[in-house]
Amino acid sequence: MTDVAAILSSCKAMLTGHFLLSSGKHSSQYFQCARLLQHPEKAAEVVATVADRIKADVKAGKLAVDSVIGPAMGGIVVAYELGRQLGTPAFFTERNDEGVMALRRGFEIQPGEKIIIAEDVVTTGKSTLETAEQIQAMGGVVVASICVVDRRPADAEEPFPWPLYAALRQPAVLWDADACELCKEGNTPAVKPGSRKVF
Ligand SMILES: [Zn+2]
């Protein structure tokens, strides 16, 4: 069986340390999936763990898929790779001038088109839901979501009214800055994941 965590770790897509996230919270772990997706063979191996489950469900008649859509930036390569493995088209949504997640570049959805939304990381599910809104407004039907890492907190409720297939389920452990266990233990100060100190 594919050890997704080991692959993520080997390409430094899964980092352990003391991180200050964009939400202002502190965490002991951070995922930078771009560092997995820069290695096409490793990305294919990780996405295959999800694609194989989807193919099995399609074969069992539980799921039908026409295409895959990924919200930019994180979802673009994941959607492409899933579409490649499923043999379906793959395209993406991106924010328009009004800041709305939209289909641009002449991408079209047919009425009733069955679509999977692909993401790198799902934490709150917000961008998946925004993308779903756009798909549904254009007459498409969201049949499933996929992600590389499902980081929803352990006590989170199911985020979507359709199934979520994740290559890795790794609930986020987050602290408010003034209640951070790592700060209390006197570790080095939290760093922003994008900073040079980490990479
Ligand atoms: Zn801290």
Say what percent of the chain tops pLDDT 70: 97
**What pLDDT was estimated at residue 76?**
96
The answer to the question of whether 126 is labelled as a binding residue is yes
The answer to the question of whether 124 is labelled as a binding residue is yes
The answer to the question of whether 158 is labelled as a binding residue is no
Burial of 51 (0-12, 13-18, 19+ CB in 10 A): buried
Domains, the chain, in order of start with CATH, read 4-185 (3.40.50.2020)
186 Cα–ligand 1 center, Å? 9
**What pLDDT was estimated at residue 194?**
65
The answer to the question of whether 123 is labelled as a binding residue is yes
The answer to the question of whether 16 is labelled as a binding residue is no
Residues sharing a CB contact under 8 Å with residue 46, sequence separation 6 or more, in sequence order: 2, 4, 7, 8, 36, 148, 167
The answer to the question of whether 151 is labelled as a binding residue is yes
pLDDT, tens only, 1-60: 899 999 999 999 999 899 998 778 899 999 999 999 999 999 999 999 999 999 999 999
Sign of the Cα torsion 38, 76, 144, 32 reads positive
181 Cα–ligand 1 center, Å? 6
24 Cα–ligand 1 center, Å? 10
pLDDT, tens only, 117-144: 999 999 888 889 999 999 999 999 999 9
pTM for this predicted structure = 0.90
CA distances from 18 to 1, 25, 92, 120, 184 (A): 30, 11, 33, 21, 12
Lowest average pLDDT, out of 62-76, 104-118, 120-134, goes to 120-134
Residues sharing a CB contact under 8 Å with residue 109, sequence separation 6 or more, in sequence order: 67, 103, 115, 135, 138, 139, 140
Two tokens at 93?
């949504």
Closest CA to 54 of 43, 67, 41: 67
Could you tell me if 47 and 85 are in contact, meaning their C-beta atoms sit under 8 angstroms apart? yes
